[in-house]
């Protein structure tokens, strides 16, 4: 059996970076790997797509006018996908508990614009705190994606036609349901989140997704019981108050504001410039564009 190498994954990611760099509405901050390679150590399926998430920095005009520079998902000629997000949208994503939302914080595969490595490093320094801000919500969200895959286990959707016709169920969704369950258990054991992502043995992932490891009857029974256990673990978890939640969220906001300030080439670092950027960032999230934004834009930057 031949496997994709880590070097080949990075080469493909570099191609994604160069591709979006030429088609960006703003400057590229970073490109992060998305998908199965993030929870497998070395048995990467040879023909697997390398999908990614590209993050862009808006210019000062887009910041002030509250313009979202996110673009539609790109589908390359080889079938690989690139999500394209404004940094402000990306921030809201990583603030929202969810296993897929946190992948970009923990992936081993990323390319960061050298100008902004400092900011990326600062985000990574607090990433374990970020994923613990709302543990209950994370568990419920992971339970939710498990239930989604259970409900679609035998349905012809999302490119699973071959499996449904051949085995009667999606082997990928079966593996996901088990992986989500093991991630929940590792998370409850307070393991580092990088270990939570890889809580499922990659040999078992390979057996399930590349062989007829379970019959249809076995798969249905296993997924029902596994999903139920995930649901019970999530529902029974008693929320623990995070003393550092506000501090971590404020620190994350500060990093993004400083990053956007540098990306927009704002030289003045007076408090009122940071305040202005923070407020326009807030207005972006609230999806409102009050006249004061236009007035301050002309006053400060024109």
Domains of the chain: 3-133+246-301 (3.30.460.10), 135-236 (no CATH)
Return the minimum-mean-pLDDT range out of 111-115, 164-168, 296-300: 296-300
What is the pLDDT confidence band of residue 210, given thresholds at 50, 70 and 90?
confident
Instruction: Return the H-helix or E-strand segment holding 36.
Output: none
The chain-wide mean pLDDT, for the chain, equals: 87
Please determine, for residue 270, whether its predicted confidence score (pLDDT) is greater than 80: no
Q: Are 120 and 78 in contact (CB under 8 A)?
A: no
Read off the pLDDT of residues 115-161 as tens digits, 9 standing for 90 and up: 999 999 999 999 999 999 999 999 999 999 999 999 999 998 878 89
Please determine, for residue 295, whether its predicted confidence score (pLDDT) is greater than 90: no
What is the pLDDT confidence band of residue 2, given thresholds at 50, 70 and 90?
very low
Structure tokens at 176: 């996901």
Read off the pLDDT of residues 176-189 as tens digits, 9 standing for 90 and up: 999 999 999 999 99
214: left (phi over 0), alpha (psi -120 to 50) or beta: beta
Please determine, for residue 40, whether its predicted confidence score (pLDDT) is greater than 70: yes
pLDDT of res. 13? 94
pLDDT of res. 281? 56
pLDDT of res. 297? 45
Torsion sign over Cα 263, 268, 270, 273:
negative
Please determine, for residue 103, whether its predicted confidence score (pLDDT) is greater than 90: yes
Please determine, for residue 170, whether its predicted confidence score (pLDDT) is greater than 90: yes
pLDDT of res. 298? 46
Mean pLDDT of 49-66: 91
- Share of residues in the chain with pLDDT > 70 (%): 85
Please determine, for residue 232, whether its predicted confidence score (pLDDT) is greater than 70: yes
Return the minimum-mean-pLDDT range out of 7-16, 135-144, 193-202, 262-271: 262-271
What is the pLDDT confidence band of residue 166, given thresholds at 50, 70 and 90?
very high
Rounded-to-integer distance, Cα 258 and Cα 202, Å:
39
Mean pLDDT of 220-248: 93
Rounded-to-integer distance, Cα 247 and Cα 94, Å:
16
Structure tokens at 270: 């007076």
Please determine, for residue 67, whether its predicted confidence score (pLDDT) is greater than 60: yes
């Amino acid at each position: 059996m031949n496997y994709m190498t880590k070097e080949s994954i990075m080469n493909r990611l570099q191609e994604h970076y160069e591709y979006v760099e030429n088609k960006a509405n703003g400057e590229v901050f970073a490109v992060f790997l998305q998908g199965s390679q993030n929870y497998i150590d070395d048995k990467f399926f040879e023909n697997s797509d390398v999908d990614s998430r590209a993050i862009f920095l808006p210019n000062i005009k887009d910041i002030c006018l509250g313009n979202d520079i996110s673009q539609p998902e790109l589908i390359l000629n080889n079938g690989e996908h690139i999500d394209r997000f404004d940094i402000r949208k990306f921030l809201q994503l990583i603030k929202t508990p969810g296993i897929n939302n946190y992948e970009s914080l923990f992936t081993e595969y990323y390319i960061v614009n050298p100008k902004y490595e400092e900011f990326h490093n600062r985000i990574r320094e607090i990433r374990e705190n970020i994923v613990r801000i709302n543990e209950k919500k994370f568990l419920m969200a992971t339970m939710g994606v498990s239930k989604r895959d259970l409900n679609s286990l035998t349905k012809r959707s999302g490119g699973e036609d071959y499996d449904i016709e051949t085995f009667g169920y999606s082997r990928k969704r079966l593996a996901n349901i088990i992986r989500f369950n093991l991630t929940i258990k590792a998370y409850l054991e307070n393991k580092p989140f990088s270990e939570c992502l890889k809580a499922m043995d990659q040999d078992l992932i390979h057996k399930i997704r590349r062989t007829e490891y379970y019959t249809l009857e076995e798969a249905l029974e296993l997924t029902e019981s596994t999903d139920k256990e995930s649901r019970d673990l999530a529902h029974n978890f008693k929320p623990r108050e995070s003393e550092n939640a506000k501090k971590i969220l404020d620190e994350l906001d500060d990093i993004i504001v400083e990053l956007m300030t540098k990306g927009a080439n704002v030289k003045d670092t007076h408090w009122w410039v940071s305040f202005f950027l923070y407020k326009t960032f807030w207005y972006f999230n609230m999806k409102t564009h009050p006249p004061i934004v236009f007035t301050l834009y002309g006053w400060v930057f024109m």
